[in-house]
Every structure is written in structure tokens, then in C-alpha cells.
Chain A
Amino acid sequence: AQTVTQSQPEMSVQEAETVTLSCTYDTSESNYYLFWYKQPPSRQMILVIRQEAYKQQNATENRFSVNFQKAAKSFSLKISDSQLGDTAMYFCAFMSGNYGQNFVFGPGTRLSVLP
């Protein structure tokens, strides 16, 4: 069974600074997908960024980028120029490429952006 670990329960960052959230996962599969979701207090699950495991290039979406290290099974999220609206829970998630129709989520990191 796949597992996703987020070792930082809480983090804080000053507005306009850069922060990196860690995620590691465990799987025996070679074909899979990784995601970061943001959950603000409204509870809505918002897709931040996704990465196909077969792609070596790290995904980037505006201020959000990932560092995908497949051999180390690591998938960290970097947020540049942090904004107050980035304050939320962030969940790392795994989906199997072979059998997957459902996500396996990590426990989350609570990020606070300080003014």
C-alpha cells in the first residue's frame, strides 16, 4: 500500500519570502502521479500543482514549483513570494497510474503567512 508522509505539521513564513514544504512517499510502482492540494479555512480542496512521475522536469505553476526526486521518493513544494492568501493547509497526494482512481493523502502541513 502507498503511504504519504509530511513531516512538518506547521510552518510559518513572512510575506514575500520563500517557503518549502516537504513530502515523501512510499510505493513500489513506477507509474504514478503526485499532487499538492491547498485547503483554506473554507474547506475547499484546491489543486496547486501536479507532477507525472515519468516526467523528469519539475512542474511549475506561477509562484509554485516542485522538487521531484524520484529515486528518493521526495516531492517538495516551494512557494515563492508568499502572500497572505497562501495561508492554508497543504496536502501532498499520490495517485497510482496503474490502479488508481483515488488519492492517498498525507496528513497535511498548516502554513501561516505572516504580515
Chain B
Amino acid sequence: NAGVMQNPRHLVRRRGQEARLRCSPMKGHSHVYWYRQLPEEGLKFMVYLQKENIIDESGMPKERFSAEFPKEGPSILRIQQVVRGDSAAYFCASSPLTGESSFYGYTFGSGTRLTVV
């Protein structure tokens, strides 16, 4: 089992460009979560998705950020017109079920470090 796969590991974008971050959950996991970690801070929840559905996006900035988890393929976090303040590490996690069972299988990827220049 390859675990949660995130790519790219590092991404550099110029201000105004688009950033696309990909996350493939663990085999058998149908729940995906995105977190953002600013320098010297803890992870902050952004969005929770199941296949083809956004369940909770309470942590997502209102503009420029979007996420999807299509029926086929990885989950994508998209940031349009990036600004310097978007520079951070973005982590994806996945879990197999909801409720108490979910945290026993909750697994993080290694993150994508986005640098906006």
C-alpha cells in the first residue's frame, strides 16, 4: 500500500499563476481532507471531500481556492492567481470511513510545498 501520495513535492509559481496540487488517497479510502501549514504554524483544515462531493469547506478561503475529488483520479486543490501569502505546505489526508473508525485509518501525505515568487 503506497500510502497517501501527493505531487508535486515542491511547486514554485509566480504571482498571478495557477497552482494545482494533487492527492491520491490510500487504496480503499473514499474521504479526503486538505490542510494548509503556514511557516512555524500548525496545520489548518481547509476542506473535506468524498467522491464527487464537497462535504465541508468551512476552512477554504472564499476566493481563488477550489477543490475537487472526481469519480476517477486524484483529488485536486486549485489556487488561482496565487499571491505571496499562499506560500505554505499543503497536506492531504485520507480515511476509509466516517465516525470513530475514521481516525484509526486517518493517514497524511508528505505535503506539497508551494512557493510563490
Contact = CB atoms under 8 A, between A and B. Distances in A.
Interface of A: 4, 33, 35, 42-45, 50, 91, 93, 95, 97, 101-108
B89 interface: yes
A93 B106 CA distance: 13
Contacts of A45: 43, 91, 93, 108
| Chain B, interface SS category | strand
A50 B103 contact: yes
B56 A91 contact: no
B25 interface: no
Interface of B: 31, 33, 35, 40-45, 48, 55-56, 59, 89, 91, 93, 95, 98, 100, 102-103, 108, 110-111, 113
B45 A102 contact: yes
A44 B113 CA distance: 12
B111 A43 contact: yes
Contacts, number: 50
Contacts of A91: 42-43
A101 B56 contact: yes
Given A43-B113, A91-B42, A107-B41, A101 B100 contact: no
A101 B33 contact: yes
